[in-house]
Homo-oligomer: A and B are copies of this chain.
Amino acid sequence: MREKRALDRIDQNILSVLQTEGRITNQQLAEKVNLSPSSCLARVRKLEEDRCIESYHAQLNLERLCRYITCVAMVSLGQHRQEDFRTFERFVKTLDEVVQCDTVSGGCDFIVRIVCADMERYHEVNEMLLNSGTNVVNIKTHVVMSETKPFSKYPLDDLLQ
C-alpha cells in the first residue's frame, strides 16, 4: 500500500472547501480556514504538488445544454485473462461517451457509465463495446431516469478518522 500524505486539521479543511468551491479565491479560503493568505496558498500549492489535489473541474449542467441520456452498462467478459481486461480497459478509454468505467467484483466485470445523445446512439456504443476486440459476452443496461444524488464530494470527514 502506498504511503499516505499526513494531513492536519487545516489541510483537511482546505480540501473540504476546495471540493465544493473549486474556484474560491485564496483570500476567501484563507479566511475560512483561519490562516493568512500566504500560508494558505503555500499549503494549497503543497497539496497540489503532492497530488492530493489532482485537478480542478467545472461541473456542467447538461440539462441546460443539450438533449442526452445516461446509461449504466454492466459488462461481463467471457474469459478473465489479464489481457482481456487490459484490452477492454484500453478500449473504453478511447470512447468519449464512456464517461466512467470501474473494474468490479460481483455479478459482472465492468460497470460502464455512458452519456450520449439518445438511445439510437447508445445502441451504437453498445455495439462498439461488444466488438471492442475483447471477449464481451454480456451487457446489461440500466437507463438513468434521474440523477438523484450527483457526485459532488468525497466524505473526507468520515474517511479521515
Interface residues of A (CB under 8 A from B): 1-2, 4-5, 7, 15, 18-23, 50-68, 70, 72, 89, 92-93, 96-108, 110-111, 113, 115-117, 140-160
A15 CB to closest chain B CB (Å) equals 6
Q: Inside 8 A of A97's CB, which chain B residues have their CB?
A: 155, 158
Q: Inside 8 A of A144's CB, which chain B residues have their CB?
A: 102-104, 111
Closest to A150 in B: B100
Closest to A63 in B: B2
Q: By the criterion CB–CB under 8 Å, are B19 and A22 in contact?
A: no
A interface, by DSSP: helix, strand, loop or mixed? mixed
A89 to B100 CA separation, bound complex (whole angstroms): 22
Q: Inside 8 A of A158's CB, which chain B residues have their CB?
A: 96-97, 116-117
Number of copies of chain A assembled together? 2
Closest to A58 in B: B18
Closest to A151 in B: B100
Question: Which of the residues B54, B104, B152 comes within 8 Å of A142, measured between beta carbons?
Answer: B104
Q: List 22 A-B contacts (CB under 8 A).
A: A1-B67, A15-B58, A18-B57, A20-B55, A22-B56, A52-B64, A54-B61, A55-B59, A56-B59, A57-B57, A60-B154, A89-B148, A93-B149, A98-B149, A99-B149, A100-B151, A101-B149, A104-B144, A104-B145, A106-B140, A106-B143, A115-B155
Q: By the criterion CB–CB under 8 Å, are B65 and A7 in contact?
A: yes
Q: Inside 8 A of A59's CB, which chain B residues have their CB?
A: 53-57
Give 9 closest A-B pairs by Cβ, nearest first.
A22-B56, A106-B142, A18-B58, A96-B155, A104-B142, A23-B56, A101-B149, A100-B151, A103-B146
